[in-house]
Chain A
């Protein structure tokens, strides 16, 4: 079966051990989680977790069932690519001197990124957007000039009207 990206959005109890149970489901089966993003919702006792993994359709069905089985998990929904509003935030620290700085600032401008820190040898760019956009930005920089890179992992919700809504 074909492997593709799956995005699962989960509402679960914000309690000690909850996250490790979710992650444990993956490690027990030897699967990789591509990205994982968790934080409390408007109800502090409930967290939303957005999980991205690459696998085939049969596997994701089993993963979803296993997740659902966890006592901490309240609800979950798999959001299809076409109904997903996804964002990720990234900070990139780029090696840049007086000579190259201008180019990077221009690049940042094109991507509607923000330059949030600058010094004679480096600058730090903040960029929000779809993971694809973030990838594109990174591709424009020579790898040896990237000093540090931090990405949050994908977060998102389904578009209104898709019928996929994790209301509490």
Chain B
């Protein structure tokens, strides 16, 4: 866009800046402090404002849009309660490094600090959960600040940036000028290119490895590097595991994929981690749900770690070859350096043989006797019907883990969930944002009856903007994941994990102007799901009554190491590999 210079008010400057950034949607909720901005939105037609029914919903929708498209999500909330409602959404995006710009209204400059009506210290309240924040006190700084905010949000390790705008600033006028030149912030210079010496060293180590393992995380998805990583993994014949956030970065149906790792990861993934001699960590941050007990983590491995964020490296584990840089650029370099290699993969044949042995354990097998629908079967069936050609969002709980385990993700940006913060209520608004961003995709929100009730009101948003998604509710009548932990670690004292008086979700869906389908028997599961999948342009709430006693396996209890794994059925409540392991 060409640079322009004419006088606009602050609100109009925001609109023009957003247009210059290519913003399609603003997700928000109005209020006194942002009325000038809403007025400016009213007078234009390029940007669609999506009215959520709760600011948290607006933030999650912007977040889902960002995750599905790779673009920056934009949200707009009013001061005080508008901002505090948005905090959970901001923290969720921050935990998963999602690029977002959040505009919040603030009381007029003259009242800041006076305990004015609807005043909170927005910058202060959000400080621990934003990448950066601004309070814009001078309208002349506004355009420049927005430009910087978009740059900071989307570069380096991405994250949410907050811009707090006092009401008077959105009314004052200033010449509008949006610089075309790249942003330059002297104190903010993310390292993009990895150190070439380190990269070569890493490749050498990988080629020499007898039991290599590739552990890839959300960074690969965020940085659009999965193509390069997949190519490299195939060239070097490495087994690949993805974290919860990285699912789809490597195709789930590939022979080299050993499944997700960590607390609810597959037996083969965790065993391969435990026994590998070189661990190649790519855009993954060694989260505690992955490593378990750090003392028992990859005891035999030399570790290579690629991350754009230097503070992620050596935070939890000692790293032998650290490479600071963007995953994309480092992967490109590695692909280039291995282009005409004749890598001898016979060396690692014994390793693959061992992995195939572990695979035979079939740690995702589950018992289908009984007359209740098994939640695992629901996900498997949905996967089979859609062939994996869908975007799946999830909430938080057992259903999230089953979705991660049983739905195969073959491409990045098809699996959208709150991995870092674990925010119940995320799934459905995120599905709305994802569908708006990628209207040609079918979007499924896999949720539980607990989680969906946290953001159910967003069904009205879907109605107003005609955003059809499918809500697949695994209704087990329990806060299932809580119940599971109480069963294992609190002697079955099910304190507050049972929800009496659930609403009739079908009637609720209808009340919101959508359709509802209930599935109760195993034998009707597939046919009814097929019907739902065929209802293309409708929002459908699918209430599936599942076996309430089902637990997520495999499981590594907290404090356990990768080899301290519980398997379903045959090994219930008993550690399979390490002796004397006690559940605490």
Contact = CB atoms under 8 A, between A and B. Distances in A.
A71 B188 contact: yes
Nearest to A21: B127
Nearest to B148: A71
A16 B135 contact: yes
Nearest to A25: B128
Contacts, number: 35
Interface residues of B, number: 18
Nearest to B132: A71
Interface string A63-104: 001101101111100000000000000000000000000000
A20 B124 contact: yes
Interface string B304-323: 00000111001100000000
B133 interface: yes
B311 A17 contact: no
A28 interface: yes
Contacts of A24: 127-128
Interface in B287-342: 309-311, 314-315
A110 interface: no
A17 B187 contact: no
Interface string B113-135: 00000000001100110011101
A56 interface: no
Given A13-B187, A73-B187, A65 B310 contact: yes
Contacts of A20: 124, 127
A65 B124 contact: no
A74 B186 contact: yes
B152 interface: yes
B496 interface: no
Interface string B131-148: 111010000000000000
Given A62-B311, A71-B188, A28 B133 contact: no
Contacts of A123: none
A69 B309 contact: yes
A34 interface: no
A55 to B, nearest CB: 15
A165 to B, nearest CB: 17
A12 interface: yes
B2 interface: no
User: Number of contact residues on A: which range applies?
Assistant: 10 to 19
Contacts of B185: 71
B135 A17 contact: yes
> Mostly helix, strand, loop or mixed at chain B's interface?
mixed
Contacts of B310: 65, 68-69
A17 B314 CA distance: 29
A66 B311 contact: yes
A27 B89 CA distance: 22
Nearest to B310: A65
A70 to B, nearest CB: 8
B186 A17 contact: no
A76 B36 CA distance: 41
Nearest to B185: A71
A61 interface: yes
Given A17-B133, A62-B311, A62-B315, A71 B127 contact: no
Contacts of B133: 17
Contacts of A72: 187
B104 to A, nearest CB: 14
18 contacts: A12-B187, A13-B187, A17-B123, A17-B133, A17-B135, A20-B124, A24-B127, A28-B128, A62-B311, A65-B310, A65-B311, A66-B311, A68-B311, A71-B132, A71-B185, A71-B188, A72-B187, A75-B187
Interface of B: 123-124, 127-128, 131-133, 135, 152, 185-188, 309-311, 314-315
Ordered nearest first, which 10 A-B pairs have the shortest CB separation? A65-B311, A74-B187, A71-B132, A71-B188, A65-B310, A28-B128, A66-B311, A24-B127, A69-B311, A17-B123
Given A69-B311, A71-B132, 13 more contacts: A17-B135, A20-B127, A21-B127, A61-B314, A62-B311, A65-B310, A65-B311, A66-B311, A68-B311, A69-B309, A69-B310, A73-B187, A74-B187
